[in-house]
Structure 1
Amino acid sequence: MGSAPKGGSPRHSMVEVGGVELGLWRWFEEPDGYPQMASTPLVGLHGFTGAGLDFQPLVDCLGTPFLAPDLLGHGSSAAPAWAEPYAMAPRLERLADLISRSCPSPPVLLGYSMGGRIALQFAVRYPELLSGLVLVGATPGIQEMDLAARRRRDDEDLARRIEQDGMPWFVEYWRAQPVIRSQERILPLHRQAMKERRLQNRPLGLAQTLRGIGTGHMKPVWQEMATLEVPVLLMTGAEDEPFSAIAASMDAVLPRSLAVRVEEAGHCAHLEQPAATARCIQSFLAQSVPLTAGMRSSSDREEPTETREADAPAESKHRVSSVVLAALSLLMALLAVGPGAWAQTGQAAFPIVNGQEEPEFPAVVALGAEFNGNAFSACTGTLITPRIVLSAAHCGGDLPLEAIVDFGRAFFGPSVDAPTEVLTFEDLVSHEDYEELESSLGGSRGRNDISVLVLEFEASAQPLWFRRAEVTEDHLGVELTSIGFGATAGGGGGGGVKRSAVLTLDALDEQFLISLSDSNENAANICGGDSGGPQVVFDGQRWVQWGVHSWGDSNCVAMSGSTRTDLVSDWLLDRIEEVHGTRDVCDINSLYDDGFCDDMCDELDPDCVEESAEDDDSGASSPSDPLGCGGCAVSGSSGVPPHLSGSHRSWPVACFLVLFALSRSTRRSTWHAFCNRKAQNLLGVQDAYLPPSSLSRCDHPTGLQCVRCCGGASGSAC
């Protein structure tokens, strides 16, 4: 269960490989020089004109051991004048040497555009050195000889122009290219840093790169990759139609592949939408299951085709789309952490860190996908009505609805492998003002990370309350029980099992309940796959949900944040009314006259009247307690529902201000029980309910009369 500071500052070094010096950027490195091995390392290969440091926004979201060289002719690496080192073969040999020296275990190779072409060629030649392959906007090469020859001529013309006019001209020329324009989405500070790095490139290095490994010079590997057994994740921006069509054709050829489109992104998807890209990659790294369950065997593959997806036969389009949507459904949980140094906590199929298996809380469900007879969890949710599951917006809110309906599942019970009930969805609604985490350091943690999934049929589990009264700083230190089906560690593993841990409410902001691992027993916290799960507090009678897991540090060892339900309660009630035709949760959840006094109902619960009648011996009032409410009461405007109308706040000497708006038509004896429960549960103080003799009266600005409940002190001490 959790998320924390991510990529941080990389270490730069120069290494000699194959007779040339290359600049190397390393993130998450141990003192002995090897990357941290809590999870599979990645090696990133940047695009033309780029540098290894370009991956910073993505690394911030990933929180994974990451190495990225400046490719020959780029950045801090050498830019020799002779042509031979720039060819593909020596590049692959140097990369094999670099990986063998730098990675203690086979990494996942991630390549973007030109780097993707190199990565695919490398995987074909050295598959034993890799555990996986991620390609962003890449191509296996041009098969038609005349088109390849034309591309070589164009590359040579551009190479000469770069040598002639220099980097300032080229940077502006490159920026104006249609395939590059979508990079305007990249965060301004990072985009400016990328521009400055491009300007530092040497014209000769870029020109020789075009002549050595330009697309027209590269040997196509369409046939060779048909036997590649390394798992491959094919990623493209949804707006990058040419490369999305290429990815669909590649997906039809590769034996073990998954094609995913990133919404609101063009060619440079990993930097335009780093958080969304990271979620897909995190799922890819977390488990191999999504890369086998949704894959077709080689015998099911179609012949390679250059057909664009938009023109592909309907059957082929549906097959590719189904795999993509299923994969995306599995990725929902990878998002539960925020941007900047944070990550969404939804990594697929992991559990709470340093918690324990949880046999109770039947309303807490695993959210995931089911296809080909296999079930996977990605996020967590909470049943708040028989047909509504509350979760995080980043858990699939950007997926097509048909993906949720076709593949999405709510798994009730202690684990995904042994569910007591599995239900499907008919709708998903995310908060209209949801803002995703930003991936850059210091970026926003997002807003309104909340969504509801509407079940096709009613669930049998008893739903949970969600808190509507304001949470204030007086609640700091309250113990929050976090529940989820997520990871037991930042590197993944152990997911799909319901776990819980007791966290401490250490801080509040305008959106989140924040918990520091150091404050929690056994340094417990949330982790990948816990996204969307609840943070609950026992109010003396029942468990009430206070928060929805949203973000945490990528290693699940520092801190986490959960969206406050008190801030989104009106939005939730609107969604409830849309589904059930009423906002009365007590009526929907059959809580009236169920043997328990539910004082948060829209109408007076008969159980509260019976309970108060037993508690109230005299019903007599006193001058300082006009309603016979034992001291913690107010008199005021009539016709106001029996709810806490304002939040409490602290006063000197542990003094609390409690406001209640009481209906004059309500029997005063009923409110003894209400006041007692409010004082104990909402104030978080067991003995906060004081007799009239220890209270002083005051006039509230609204005209309501109120009392200050001072922890054992006299009224004058307040």
Structure 2
Amino acid sequence: MGLVATACSSALEELPDDTGEARDAIQDGYLDDGDRAVVGIYNDEIGAICTGSLIAPNVVLTARHCVSDMANERDGQITCRSTKFTDTHLARRIFVTTDAEIGRSSRYYGGREIVLLPGTEADSFCGNDQAILILDELIPESEAVPLVPRVDVPLERGEEYYAVGFGATNDLSTGAGLRRRRDNLFIDCVADGCPASVVKPTEWVGDTGICEGDSGGPSLDLMHRVIGVTSRGAEGCEYPIYGYVYGWAEWIKEATQHAADLGGYTAPRWATGFPTDPIYSAELGGACEQPDQCSTNACLDGYCTRPCTEIAACPSGYSCNDELGFCAKLPEPPPEDDGEGDGEDEAPAGSCSIQPRPDPTKPVPWLLGAAGLGAVASLRRRRSRDRLG
């Protein structure tokens, strides 16, 4: 199978006839003004656009081919046996925006440092197409709330996801540079469960619809956690291959902690081992009679509770019930003036009523696009022929 890297779109003078990159596979998506933590990337060094995920105030997770040159790729075709990364671009010439458009009037943040994957084999394209761009200033939470990468729970075949990117919409590359979103996608295979000739253990294969311009963009689960980094796919915008976030979890956490030190803020809790499932951060204590009256679907002795672990400890006034695995209210301290008392010295043991968690509200559909000519041309007059970046 010939694979085409779905990379940063460039200002191509003409579209080659042999790419086979049809864009109509993304026609079910639409514009997305809300997911501001999915950022547009403009690489001024090569005049190209990509997509990335803001996972901390100054941390953007993206594809390495968005920030590096490559060798041994031929006419846009990636060969896992031979395609390699070479020189890395200058971080200060890479810019990101939280706006829904990569355009002349958008607000941009500049890069400060690029963090690459570790190891002697990290220059091989397949399995290593991830990079982190550390920004030179913090993006305020009022502008974009960072996404959480799913670094603690592996993926399963058939799991539903959605994807976001700044690609185009058709063979003429119209609409490039606009953030689009598509949902109702499903995982085809994960890591070792995929064909080893074209997919590595640190990758997984998705559903459909990924084309040029969406590279580096996220796929997200139904809890809105980043699970993949768009890398490449087959002709016709099919067989999308993503970098596996879980497969590079420790590197992502370490790089984020490093960025927090540079930015002078406390690293996000997931970077130090806190569970990424939002249920572990849910508020508790509200009155309930049935589990479905609680956002966590867990009602204990008339109040809403949540699961707990040694790392995901309970807040003040609660303790983790080891038997139930949920936060339980601590007994009220006895009054100073005991009086005669009523003889009830023990707190009730209690029981926890829990229902399976329902699927969260599904996000609106999204469109995965292709080569972004128009948006890049409006930013840079120089026209280059670079289908991968």
TM-score tier (shorter): 0.5 to 0.7
Mapped partners of 2:103, 2:164: distance in 1: 17
> Could you say which residue in structure 1 is the equivalent of 2:198?
none
> Could you say which residue in structure 1 is the equivalent of 2:242?
562
Partner amino acid for 2:115? V
> Could you say which residue in structure 2 is the equivalent of 1:553?
234
> Could you say which residue in structure 1 is the equivalent of 2:212?
528
> Could you say which residue in structure 2 is the equivalent of 1:362?
36
Partner amino acid for 1:487? A
Distance 1:587 1:600, change over 3 A: closer
> Could you say which residue in structure 2 is the equivalent of 1:585?
268
**1:662 offset after TM fit, Å?**
5.3
Distance 1:665 1:471, change over 3 A: closer
> Could you say which residue in structure 2 is the equivalent of 1:612?
284
> Could you say which residue in structure 2 is the equivalent of 1:390?
61
What number of residue pairs does the alignment pair up?
285
Mapped partners of 1:377, 1:351: distance in 2: 22
Partner amino acid for 1:515? G
In the TM superposition, what whole-angstrom CA distance separates every residue of 1:460-496 from its partner, at most 9, and x where no partner exists?
32111111232343xx433321111123346745321
**1:369 offset after TM fit, Å?**
2.9
Structure with greater strand percent: 2
> Could you say which residue in structure 1 is the equivalent of 2:167?
486
Map residues 677-716 of structure 1 onto 2, 5 A cutoff: 679-680=356-357
**1:561 offset after TM fit, Å?**
1.6
In the TM superposition, what whole-angstrom CA distance separates every residue of 1:545-578 from its partner, at most 9, and x where no partner exists?
121111111331x220212222222211101111
**1:535 offset after TM fit, Å?**
0.8
Match of 1:550, SS? strand
> Could you say which residue in structure 1 is the equivalent of 2:203?
512
Is 1:432 the counterpart of 2:118? The answer is yes
Distance 1:538 1:554, change over 3 A: same
Match of 2:254, SS? helix
In the TM superposition, what whole-angstrom CA distance separates every residue of 1:512-560 from its partner, at most 9, and x where no partner exists?
332233xxxxxxx111111110111232xxx22121111111331x220
**1:428 offset after TM fit, Å?**
0.6
Mapped partners of 1:415, 1:685: distance in 2: 27
> Could you say which residue in structure 1 is the equivalent of 2:225?
544
Map residues 448-467 of structure 1 onto 2, 5 A cutoff: 448-460=128-140, 461-467=144-150
Distance 1:362 1:376, change over 3 A: farther
Partner amino acid for 1:508? V
Mapped partners of 1:404, 1:675: distance in 2: 55
Considering only CA atoms, is the larger Rg found in Structure 1 or Structure 2?
1
> Could you say which residue in structure 1 is the equivalent of 2:293?
none
In the TM superposition, what whole-angstrom CA distance separates every residue of 1:305-361 from its partner, at most 9, and x where no partner exists?
xxxxxxxxxxxxxxxxxxxxxxxxxxxxxxxxxxxxx99x9xxxx998222121110
**1:452 offset after TM fit, Å?**
0.6
> Could you say which residue in structure 2 is the equivalent of 1:641?
311
**1:680 offset after TM fit, Å?**
1.9
Distance 1:634 1:358, change over 3 A: closer
Mapped partners of 1:431, 1:564: distance in 2: 13
Distance 1:642 1:393, change over 3 A: same
RMSD: 4.7
> Could you say which residue in structure 1 is the equivalent of 2:372?
none
Match of 2:181, SS? strand
Partner amino acid for 2:189? A
> Could you say which residue in structure 2 is the equivalent of 1:123?
none
Distance 1:587 1:467, change over 3 A: closer
Unaligned runs of 5+ in 1: 7-60, 63-274, 290-341, 438-445, 518-524, 589-597, 619-624, 644-659, 687-718
Mapped partners of 1:462, 1:685: distance in 2: 18
Mapped partners of 2:151, 2:48: distance in 1: 29
> Could you say which residue in structure 2 is the equivalent of 1:287?
12
> Could you say which residue in structure 2 is the equivalent of 1:46?
none
Partner amino acid for 2:357? Q
Is 1:468 the counterpart of 2:146? The answer is no
**1:456 offset after TM fit, Å?**
0.6
* CA contact 1:384–1:390 (8 Å) conserved in 2: yes
- Give the TM-score normalised by the residue count of structure 2: 0.59
Partner amino acid for 1:466? P
Partner amino acid for 1:457? E
Mapped partners of 2:321, 2:250: distance in 1: 19
* CA contact 2:39–2:97 (8 Å) conserved in 1: yes
**1:508 offset after TM fit, Å?**
1.8
Mapped partners of 2:24, 2:135: distance in 1: 24
Distance 1:665 1:633, change over 3 A: closer
Is 1:353 the counterpart of 2:23? The answer is no
In the TM superposition, what whole-angstrom CA distance separates every residue of 1:84-114 from its partner, at most 9, and x where no partner exists?
xxxxxxxxxxxxxxxxxxxxxxxxxxxxxxx
Distance 1:467 1:548, change over 3 A: same
Distance 1:396 1:676, change over 3 A: farther
* CA contact 1:376–1:416 (8 Å) conserved in 2: no
**1:668 offset after TM fit, Å?**
2.3
* CA contact 2:165–2:213 (8 Å) conserved in 1: yes
> Could you say which residue in structure 2 is the equivalent of 1:65?
none
**1:409 offset after TM fit, Å?**
1.0
Partner amino acid for 2:137? F
**1:613 offset after TM fit, Å?**
1.2
Match of 1:571, SS? helix
**1:420 offset after TM fit, Å?**
4.1
* CA contact 2:7–2:214 (8 Å) conserved in 1: no
Mapped partners of 1:565, 1:528: distance in 2: 21
Mapped partners of 2:260, 2:353: distance in 1: 30
Unaligned runs of 5+ in 2: 70-85, 192-200, 291-297, 314-319, 331-349, 362-389
Mapped partners of 1:513, 1:492: distance in 2: 27
Mapped partners of 1:453, 1:507: distance in 2: 28
In the TM superposition, what whole-angstrom CA distance separates every residue of 1:228-267 from its partner, at most 9, and x where no partner exists?
xxxxxxxxxxxxxxxxxxxxxxxxxxxxxxxxxxxxxxxx
Mapped partners of 1:390, 1:406: distance in 2: 16
Mapped partners of 1:407, 1:485: distance in 2: 19
**1:412 offset after TM fit, Å?**
2.2
* CA contact 2:25–2:236 (8 Å) conserved in 1: no
**1:389 offset after TM fit, Å?**
0.5
Structure with greater helix percent: 1
* CA contact 1:489–1:527 (8 Å) conserved in 2: no
